[in-house]
Structure 1
């Protein structure tokens, strides 16, 4: 009698090879469970039913009996063991737990191992392959290259059939038990996500998709932080100050690869590092514990991380409110956080936090935003809180808390974030506009006071006039500056220099 694990392992291939002979029994409780699974859209249920169809075909070809026995209902594994204990038949299984229980109950069993010619994803990949894309009735394709520089390549000129892609899905599921670090991460109606060694496999089927589809990804590069060529200033910040780090970028640009390198960097500094992933996609040393959000509630992960007290937690692929809330809560609790989000620009990544947290807490939650493009660090922002009049406002009583988003390397303000009315504003500070206005103010003042200096500081333009030339500051100069204030909606302040 076969159980579900034997069907998923590809029991029919063992029959076809002659490794196992004799009549085959299928328990009705198992058949009922497989029917429920298939109706609910679980791929494992459909694969197991397809295996039974193969056994029926082989029973006619190789002249053995295929019978459905027992009563529906109950736990299939328990019902199978009870039936075999009463009648002395042998259980065929690929499940270690089933094997152990059979030994304890003195029930005969055959434990099947994977065949030597079992399916391997390696044949689809070479050293440059990032991902493989298989869909029924379509030509198999592979994405080759590196993040930000890749191309699609046909793997065959013949479209893959529905039967072939189902066979591949079956072999992926059956290989899980025999490849280290392999497991079904998520199984939902119409989709299954599998971690198979270094491969991440996404299987979809109707009605979720319009046909069977398998997408397999494999990390092409594994880089250390030193290989990114980061500036000494940024390395020092990551080592000494950064505790609310956000890694952003478009899909496929290398965000997870950088997060992986950063996690290993902190581990080498003697920090305790843990990750939250969904699914687990990073390949890290054993010293770094990887948690799956699919196997624990958010509250459970929250308690585990607070009690285990890691120095840094890497939160890969933050998508929904629940992910952001957990990141925010852990960061406010004092845990160093490294979040990974999809974003087309660095400011878009910050924007995803604004609707989920008060503006005043943003710099405490996010202090460093690292934008990844084409596998390299493209932009780094730092966030600081100040109280002043935002750029473009003139009245002193309009002063308010302003979050300055600065280019970390140049320390220049690129965006201002503040609350105006009930709306949170993200206002770009245009360098072109600033420089243009500075030039106009400089021309207006230098006609009368050549040594005057003009600088943009904290949302206003400061004109510094040397003490020796203050007598030249007359009504005519004042009138010009007031016209510029009104025209460009800016604020100009006069300061006495040395």
Structure 2
């Protein structure tokens, strides 16, 4: 190790009568290294109580830097006893106000005050501290720590096919080797990993972090530290968080391009042109992050501006793609900056917290293409994570594609789309409602339906339907596509083995009079009966209704109706809503919805909406 002065010259010998090291010099073990080389003799080392308390606070919170600094003070005493170096403490302990202002430099100021009062030189590895000391005309030495890259302490256990390394005190070292889909757990030796080995490895890692350009501490909390060191993600846990010290090292085994996955032309075309709200889901270790990395670089190759949200940052992407961490610990703040940058796509790796999902939703609704990575055992599980966080009608605009990864390959791909029809298993016509369809991209088969039933959002699996049912559903989609060319409002539902076309009254007249012949020919072509009817059925008696404002929603309380009955709501002559009466004879309508906005507008104008039973 070389100790370099601010002017770039090396120091052969620094013999000072009084030396005050600050917190950075203690953590970087500057003084003990100089004593070992004989560069400090017959000197007095004055450790500021402010630095001691700061190190103690770090160590108490489980931060390794605090432990290193305290060990350094102990080592200075041990080494100094044989070469005339005395150690004592000086200055005052920081007050509560000093601690609150520590980030603004108050603790550093207390340390400089000790050096001034003792007539000592300040030793620091903090360049800002050195500049302030120079400005105050305080003798100061700045030590820029440089050292050749050491061998990373755990690399002796790593082989070409090692995916993760698991080192726990008291247990034999273990490793997962292979590749996604072919992983096995291997014992690396019979002897257990010792506490001395753990301490030595942690100290070496922290030293590497301090002096390596490709290392950063991503998370530092009581009992846990996460380090990103090049391609390695290192998690260190210790009591009280874990029962003993454990070091876990994870690394990508292979870097793939999007073409290595042998995706279908249909999926590639969707990724290139239509998909803008993508979820990459799968169980832990399935290869989600590897696929996300390849997708990020694929979008870059298409001329898109791509950024990432990661904590820790372990996506394997090129330097053209900026990898962003939580700004001040908060992805919401990162999103505020990112919206000013205006990327085409953002890769959000490992979404876990509720706020992560809200950031994804907000950015997607702001027009940014989003790719979220989620732990899930099934594709529908990933979709359900969003259901409680947004309105159902917005779901297909937030998430349009779900890619499920299993054992390193793309296992399933679902697309989400919205329609209005009768759900599977229901037969009454007045049960038609908006439905989010989850469809297999490759086979176009309907797999799940998501819709509101009463006050609840229901997810129903329909992929088990018979082949005849699936064929009828396919014909219904063909009929809807053709009929919408004749009448834009036409919506087709499959009811009792027939296709029912519901449309606005103007379109109803057009289809039944002008295009009746075409509909008959379409019946013959598809081999299924087609019936056309107006979208809204005839109205029954009017219902007495009371409307209340309830936390962002309009709550309509109805008299003389029962739960489960269908009603229509009109403002003036305009129909705005058909709904099922829920618990307590209530209907709840979001103010942000089109129907809610229309009702609220007329309420403010003094016009009360009218509610009718459906006959």
Give TM class, smaller chain: 0.7 to 0.9
In the alignment, is the contact (CA less than 8 A) between 2:177 and 2:183 conserved in 1? yes
* 2:25 is aligned with 1:6: yes
Contact map agreement 2:147 2:211 (CA 8 A) in 1 = no
Point out the structure with the larger helix share. 1
**Partner in structure 1 of residue 471 of structure 2:** 455
Of the candidates 82, 85, 94, which is equivalent to residue 125 of structure 2? Answer: 94
Post-superposition Cα deviations, 1:102-154, rounded to whole Å, max 9, x if no partner, equal 55556332515355584514333232122222222222222222223222223
Query: Counterparts of 2:62 and 2:289 in 1: how far apart (Å)?
Result: 30
In the alignment, the residues of structure 1 paired with residue 283 and residue 332 of structure 2 have an alpha-carbon distance, to the nearest angstrom, of 29
- Post-superposition CA distance 1:69-90 (Å, at most 9, x none): 2222254433333333454544
In the other structure, the counterpart of 2:587 is: none
Deviation at 1:50, TM superposition (A): 2.9
The 8 Å contact of residues 371 and 380 in structure 1, kept in 2 or not, is answered as: yes
Q: How far is 1:259 from its partner?
A: 0.8
Indicate the residue corresponding to 2:497 in structure 1: 492
Residue 332 (structure 1) shift: 0.9
Correspondence for 1:70: 91
CA distance in 2, matches of 1:21, 1:155: 43
Which residue is equivalent to 1:107?
Answer: 139
Is the deviation greater in 192-201 or in 1-10? 1-10
CA distance 1:62–1:249, shift in 2 (3 Å): farther
Q: 2:289 aligns with which of 256, 268, 275?
A: 256
Cα displacement string for residues 409-464 of structure 1 (whole angstroms, at most 9, x for unaligned residues): 11111111111111111111133x413x66xxxxxxxxxxxxxxx933179899xx
Give the corresponding residue for 1:81: 112
Higher mean Cα deviation, 197-206 or 405-414?
A: 197-206
Residues 317 and 339 in structure 1, CA contact (< 8 A), matched pair in contact too:
yes
Q: Work out which of the two has the higher radius of gyration on C-alpha atoms and give 1 or 2.
A: 2
- Structure 1 residues 163 and 92: CA distance shift in structure 2, 3 A: farther
- CA separation of 1:118 and 1:76: change in aligned 2, threshold 3 A: farther
The aligned counterpart of 2:363 is 330
In 1, are the aligned partners of 2:306 and 2:346 still within 8 Å (CA)?
A: yes
Alignment map for 1:350-389 (pairs within 5 Å): 350-389=383-422
Query: Is the Cα–Cα contact under 8 Å of residues 8 and 174 in structure 1 kept in the other structure?
Result: no
Q: Which moved more, 1:383-392 or 1:12-21?
A: 12-21
CA RMSD after TM alignment: 2.8
Distance (Å, rounded) in 2 between the aligned partners of 1:236 and 1:399: 33
Q: Compare 268-277 and 36-45 and name the one that shifted more.
A: 36-45
Segments of structure 1 that go 5 or more residues without pairing to the other structure are: 439-453, 463-488
Measure, in 1, the Cα distance between the counterparts of 2:176 and 2:38: 39
Where does residue 44 of structure 1 map in the other structure?
Answer: 65
The aligned counterpart of 1:289 is 322
Provide the secondary structure at the position in 2 that maps to 1:153.
strand
SS at match of 1:31: helix
> In the alignment, which residue of structure 2 is the partner of 1:441?
none
Range 189-198 or range 305-314, more displaced: 189-198
Q: Is residue 6–residue 94 contact of structure 1 (8 Å, CA) maintained in 2? A: yes
- Structure 1 157/93 Cα, relative in aligned 2: closer, same or farther at 3 Å? farther
SS of 1:143's equivalent in the other structure is strand
SS in structure 1 opposite 2:209? helix
Shift of 1:17: 4.7
- Asked whether the equivalents of residues 249 and 255 of structure 1 are also in contact (C-alpha less than 8 Å), the reply is yes
Aligned equivalents of 2:38 and 2:379: distance in 1?
58
Taking the aligned partners of 2:174 and 2:133, their CA distance within structure 1 comes to 44
- Residue 477 (structure 1) aligns with: none
- Alignment partner of 2:56 out of 35, 41, 51: 35
- The offset of 1:237, in angstroms, is 0.7
What corresponds to 1:447 in structure 2?
Answer: none
6-15 vs 255-264, which moves further: 6-15
Contact 2:287 2:405 in 1 (8 A): yes
Q: Is the 8 A contact 2:32 2:76 kept in 1?
A: no
Runs of at least 5 residues in structure 2 that lack an aligned partner in the other structure: 1-19, 99-105, 479-493, 500-519, 526-615
Query: 1:193 corresponds to which residue?
Result: 226
Worse overlay, 125-134 or 288-297: 288-297
Whether 1:58 and 2:79 are equivalent positions in the alignment is yes
Aligned partner of 2:204 in structure 1 is 171
- Separation in 2 of the partners of 1:148 and 1:100? 55
| Higher mean displacement: 255-264 or 139-148 | 139-148
CA distance in 2: counterparts of 1:226 and 1:337, whole angstroms: 21
TM-score normalized by the length of structure 2 = 0.68
Q: How many Å separate the matches in 2 of 1:106 and 1:368? A: 62
Q: Secondary structure at the match of 1:30?
A: helix
Counterpart residue number, 2:502? none
Give the direction of change, closer, same or farther, for the CA distance of 1:429–1:334 in structure 2 (3 Å limit): same
Shift of 1:191: 1.3
What are the superposed Cα offsets for residues 207-253 of structure 1, whole Å, 9 maximum, x if unpaired? 11111222122222111111111111111111111100100011111
Structure 1 counterpart of 2:547: none
- Correspondence list, 1:91-490, <5 A: 91-102=122-133, 104=135, 105=137, 107-109=139-141, 111=143, 113=145, 115-116=147-148, 118=150, 120-121=152-153, 122-293=155-326, 295-431=328-464, 433-435=465-467, 455-457=471-473
TM value normalised by structure 1: 0.84
CA contact (8 A) 2:181 2:286 kept: yes
CA distance in 1, matches of 2:197, 2:231: 23
Judging changes above 3 Å, is the alpha-carbon distance between structure 1 residues 368 and 117 closer, same or farther for their aligned structure 2 residues? closer
Q: CA offsets, 1:332-381, max 9 Å, x none? A: 11111101100011111111111111111111111110011111111110
